[in-house]
Amino acid sequence: MSEPGSSRRGRGHDAEGTREAILNAAEIVFAEHGFDGARVDAIAARAGYNKSLIFQYFGDKQGLYVEVMRRADREMSVIQNRLLESLSTDTSILSDPRRFKDLLEVIVGTLFDYLVEHPRLVRMLSWEQAEGWETYKKIFSQFETDDTEQFTAIFRAASEAGLLRSDLSPLFQVTLAMQICQSYLSWKPLYEMVFPQEDFSSAQAQARVREYLVRFIIAGITRDSAKDT
């Protein structure tokens, strides 16, 4: 049997493992208390490392918060690139209303699934919203925006093909889709109280809501046909 704490000392030699353990602990604490309410001492205790190591890796609490958010942003970028990969070899999707809608349904559905699988991110975004996005205003410039260019180009081409209802910013439309998904997941506990006769918890219920939200969002983004105004 290993001595108490031996695994922690072993982890100390694994810089990447240490970093991930701290990020995981920080995500939990930020989700529970928001940025302002989170304490580095609590993050260090949950991670099992001295808080001086957190400062060594991330500089300060804000630097740690940025890295937690960046990690989610990178994960979503990987998913986005995978979903849009088909367009690099088959741009005809952008001239076919049905196939374009199918692509958007997959994108929005995958976004919903990501948020379902990352409830702590949903809570962190809810904290930001409640606090007027004050922390995000301070750190927004530190996020990569190159991956948004691909979405913008795709939506621009779709708009030129007459597939979209609005010429609003493509990034705004995608962000709004994310907001709708996040809002449902944040309000789900309230729905369960207000509508106790409804099933919101089972896998079947979640699948039904997912389908409804995806269709609701896509109907708002796309035209029924090129002539639909």
What's the CA gap between 67 and 143, in Å, rounded? 10
Structural domains of the chain sorted by starting position, each given as residue range(s) with its CATH number in brackets: 1-59 (1.10.10.60), 70-221 (1.10.357.10)
Across residues 173-193, what is the average pLDDT? 94
Q: Which residues pair with 164 in a beta bridge?
A: 222
Residue 225: the pLDDT is 59
Residue 11: the pLDDT is 46
> Global pTM?
0.86
- pLDDT-above-90 percentage for the chain: 64
Structure tokens at 124: 């962190």
Is the model's pLDDT at 188 over the cut of 90? yes
* Tens-place pLDDT, residues 106-125: 999 999 999 999 999 999 99
What's the CA gap between 131 and 207, in Å, rounded? 31
What's the CA gap between 162 and 158, in Å, rounded? 6
Q: Which residues pair with 222 in a beta bridge?
A: 164
Do residues 55 and 63 lie in contact, with contact meaning Cβ atoms separated by under 8 Å?
Answer: no
